[in-house]
Structure 1
Amino acid sequence: MRGLRWRLILNGKSTGNQEVREAVHALREQGVTLEVRVTWEDGDAERYVAEAIEHGVDTIIAAGGDGTLSEVAETLAHRDETADALPSLGLVPLGTANDFATAAGIPDEPLQALQMILAQAARPLDLLRIDAEGDLWWCANVASGGFGTEVTVETDEGLKKVLGGLAYLVTGISRLGRIEPIRARLRTPDFSWEGGFIALGIGNGRQAGGGQVLCPEALVDDGLLDVTVIPELSGEVASTLAALVRGGKQGALEQVAERTRAPWVEIDADEPMTLNLDGEPVKARRFRIDCVASRLRMHLPLDSALLA
C-alpha cells in the first residue's frame, strides 16, 4: 500500500464536497500518496493526465459523473502507450446520474469508492471509439441517440441540481407530445436495420440519461458493443403510455427493442443526428463506432455486473 501514487482529477463543480476531502485525507493516512487536481475548463483533464504520466502515477481517479469519467478515459485512450504502460483508472461518482457507476456497482460514498480502488486490482476495460465524419471521439459508457438523447441534452443544469436523475424524467414528460423518430440505417458484420427509431443505445455500459437501461446485458470486457434500437412506435401516444405503465418502462421497451452484439457498428442517418457520448453531444449524419478491446485498465468491484 505504501508507495502507491494516485492522482485524483476532480470536476470543478464538486470542489466544496466535504466527503471527498475527508476521503482523500483518510487514504493519505493509509500511506497512499494522493494528489488532487481540479478541472475548470476544456483541456484541463488532458494536461493533468499528461502530468500524472510524467510523474509516474500508478492510478488516475476521475471524481465526477459520466462525463468526467469519459473525459479522463479519452485523454488516456488516445495516447500511444499500451494499457499496461498507462496508469490504471478509478472512479469516484459525484455526478447527477452516475449511470456507469450505478451499473458497475461502484460505491456512492467517496471513501468507499477509494477503498474499493485500493482493494481491487485493475481489470481490462473496453472503450468505444467513435468516428463522426472524420472527427474522433472516445466513450467509456454508452453512446445514445434519439428521444433519450434529446432529453439529456435539453435538461436544465439547475433542474439537475435540484432534482437529480428525476430531472431527466421531468424533461422527458414535457417532450412526450413531440417525439420525432430519426430515420437511419445501421450495419454490423452480421446485422442490418433500417427505419425510424426513437431511441438508440450503443453500450460498453448499460444505462444512460439518468437511468435509461438501453443495453441491459452489456459487459465492459467482452470486446463487443451491445446495440439496442427502439423503433418508432405505432398507434396513439396514450396506448404507448399505457404499455409503459402496465409493464414498467423496461418491460414495454423489451417488446419492441431490436438488439445485437458486434465489434463495430456503422450508422447512416437521413439528416444530421446527435449521439450523446456520456454527456458530450456529437452531431453528424454518419458514424462508425468500434469497440477497442482492453484499451485501459480500471478498478471495479469484484462482483460488478459489467464484468464478464
Structure 2
Amino acid sequence: MSRPHWRLILNGKSAGNDALRDAVHALRERGVQLEVRVTWEDGDAERHVAEAIEHGVDTIIAAGGDGTLSEVAQTLAHRDEDAATLPSLGLVPLGTANDFASAAGIPDDPLQALALIEHAAARPVDLLDIDADGKHWWCANVASGGFGTEVTVETDEGLKKMLGGLAYLVTGISRLGRIDPIQARLQAPGFSWEGGFIALGIGNGRQAGGGQVLCPDALVDDGLLDITVIPDLSGEVGATFAALVKGGKQGALEQVATRMQAAWVQIDAPQPITLNLDGEPVQARRFRIACVPARIRMHLPADSALLAATRADAALQPG
C-alpha cells in the first residue's frame, strides 16, 4: 500500500505559523508525503491545484480562513473532471474568520485538523454556483448580504441566547441607529419575496462574518440552499419584533425572518447590491445562485453538524 500523498496550500499571511510547521513535520514522520505550497497573489491557488493534480496528489489541504477554503474549492469545482476522480479536500483553519470550520466542527489546532484528514473518509459535499451579472463564482460556505456584509459587531452572549443566532443585528442597530434596507426581489422554485431587507444569507454552511449564524439549519450534502431574509425592522414587522422582544420571546429575530430551502434562487435589485462570497465582495444587480450537489469530496468529522447523516442520527435518538 502506497503512503498518502498530500499537498497543503497555505495562505501567505500564515506562512510563519509555527504550530502548522510542527504539525506538518509530525505527519511526515507518520509516513504522509506532505508538500507545502504558499499563495501570495491571485492565480496561485489555481496553479498549485493544477500542479497537485498533475503530480497525482490524493488530498489537497486548504490552510487559511474561509476565503482560502473557497478559493481552493473553486479551483477544484470548475475543472472538467468528476468529483470522484479529483483529489479530496481538507481544511486547516488559520484565518481570522473560520466560519465554515467552526460550524463543521473542524479543530483549530493544526495537528488535530491534519489528523482528522488522515482518519476521516472524504464525503461528497455541495458548492454554491453563482452568476453575478454574467460573471461566474463558486462559494463553499455562505453568500451574505445587507447589514452583515458591512458591519461586524460584538454581541453579548446573553442577548444571543435570548434572541437567537441573529442577535448581532439588534446590537448593531442599537449602536449605529437606523439601517437603510436594501431593495430586492428573490425568486426560487415555489417562492417569491420582494421588499427591503437588512440581512440576507444563502447558505451551504451556516454562519458568516465571524460567527453570524444566518442559516442555522444548513447542510453541506443535501443538494439545497438555505435562504434567510431579515426584512426591514419597521412598520408591522418592527412592531411584531418589538412585541416579541418585550415579551422575552426566545428567537425573536428568527420569528420575523423568512426562511426557505431551494435548489436555486435569483436575486434582482434596482440598484447594484453587494454579496459577500466567503470574504469576497461581489457587486451586481442580478445574482443567480444554484446548489451543485456533491461537487467535491471533503474530509469532515463523522459527527459534523453540517452533514445530513448527523441530523438523521440525532432524529433517531430517544427523547
TM-score, normalised to structure 2, is 0.86
2:7 and 2:297 map into 1 onto residues whose CA distance is 15
In structure 1, what is the equivalent of residue 50 of structure 2? Answer: 50
Could you list the runs of 4 or more consecutive aligned residues of structure 1 that deviate by over 6 angstroms after TM superposition? none
Query: Over aligned residue pairs, what C-alpha RMSD do you find?
Result: 2.4
1:106 and 1:80 map into 2 onto residues whose CA distance is 28
One of 232, 242, 245 as aligned partner of 1:243: 245
Q: Secondary structure at the match of 1:267?
A: strand
Query: Cα offset for 1:174?
Result: 8.8
Per-residue Cα deviation, 1:201-240 (whole angstroms, up to 9, x for no partner): 0000000011110100000000000000000101689x86
Using a 3 Å threshold, how does the CA distance of structure 1 residues 49 and 174 change in structure 2: closer, same or farther? farther
Letter of the 2:262 counterpart? A
Per-residue Cα deviation, 1:148-193 (whole angstroms, up to 9, x for no partner): 01126x9xxxxxxxxxxxxx99x95796224110011001111110
1:172 and 1:35 map into 2 onto residues whose CA distance is 44
1:271 and 1:178 map into 2 onto residues whose CA distance is 20
Q: Secondary structure at the match of 1:42?
A: coil
State the percentage of identical aligned residues: 79
1:2 and 1:307 map into 2 onto residues whose CA distance is 30
Per-residue Cα deviation, 1:266-297 (whole angstroms, up to 9, x for no partner): 00012100000000000001010000000000
Query: Is the 8 Å Cα contact of residues 214 and 228 (structure 2) preserved in structure 1?
Result: yes
In structure 1, what is the equivalent of residue 162 of structure 2? Answer: none
Using a 3 Å threshold, how does the CA distance of structure 1 residues 174 and 35 change in structure 2: closer, same or farther? farther
Query: Cα offset for 1:243?
Result: 3.4
1:129 and 1:252 map into 2 onto residues whose CA distance is 32
In structure 2, what is the equivalent of residue 76 of structure 1? Answer: 76
1:257 and 1:147 map into 2 onto residues whose CA distance is 14
Question: Which is greater in Rg?
Answer: 2
Is 1:212 equivalent to 2:212 in the alignment? yes
Is 1:61 equivalent to 2:83 in the alignment? no
Please show how residues 13-162 of structure 1 align to structure 2 within 5 Å.
13-151=13-151
1:261 and 1:305 map into 2 onto residues whose CA distance is 17
Unaligned runs of 5+ in 1: 155-167
Query: Is the 8 Å Cα contact of residues 14 and 64 (structure 1) preserved in structure 2?
Result: yes
In structure 2, what is the equivalent of residue 282 of structure 1? Answer: 282
Query: Is the 8 Å Cα contact of residues 244 and 252 (structure 1) preserved in structure 2?
Result: no
Using a 3 Å threshold, how does the CA distance of structure 1 residues 16 and 189 change in structure 2: closer, same or farther? same
Per-residue Cα deviation, 1:64-117 (whole angstroms, up to 9, x for no partner): 000000000001101101101110000000111200000000011000000001
Query: Is the 8 Å Cα contact of residues 2 and 30 (structure 1) preserved in structure 2?
Result: no
Using a 3 Å threshold, how does the CA distance of structure 1 residues 110 and 2 change in structure 2: closer, same or farther? farther
Q: Secondary structure at the match of 2:183?
A: strand
Query: Cα offset for 1:253?
Result: 1.9
In structure 2, what is the equivalent of residue 165 of structure 1? Answer: none
Query: Cα offset for 1:244?
Result: 9.9
Using a 3 Å threshold, how does the CA distance of structure 1 residues 213 and 78 change in structure 2: closer, same or farther? same
Per-residue Cα deviation, 1:231-258 (whole angstroms, up to 9, x for no partner): 0101689x86x9399568xx23212110
In structure 1, what is the equivalent of residue 165 of structure 2? Answer: none
Is 1:11 equivalent to 2:8 in the alignment? no
Query: Is the 8 Å Cα contact of residues 101 and 107 (structure 1) preserved in structure 2?
Result: yes
Query: Is the 8 Å Cα contact of residues 173 and 179 (structure 2) preserved in structure 1?
Result: no
Q: Secondary structure at the match of 1:226?
A: strand
Unaligned runs of 5+ in 2: 154-167, 309-319
Query: Is the 8 Å Cα contact of residues 97 and 209 (structure 1) preserved in structure 2?
Result: yes
Query: Is the 8 Å Cα contact of residues 201 and 229 (structure 1) preserved in structure 2?
Result: yes
1:243 and 1:118 map into 2 onto residues whose CA distance is 47
Q: Secondary structure at the match of 2:20?
A: helix
Q: Secondary structure at the match of 1:76?
A: helix
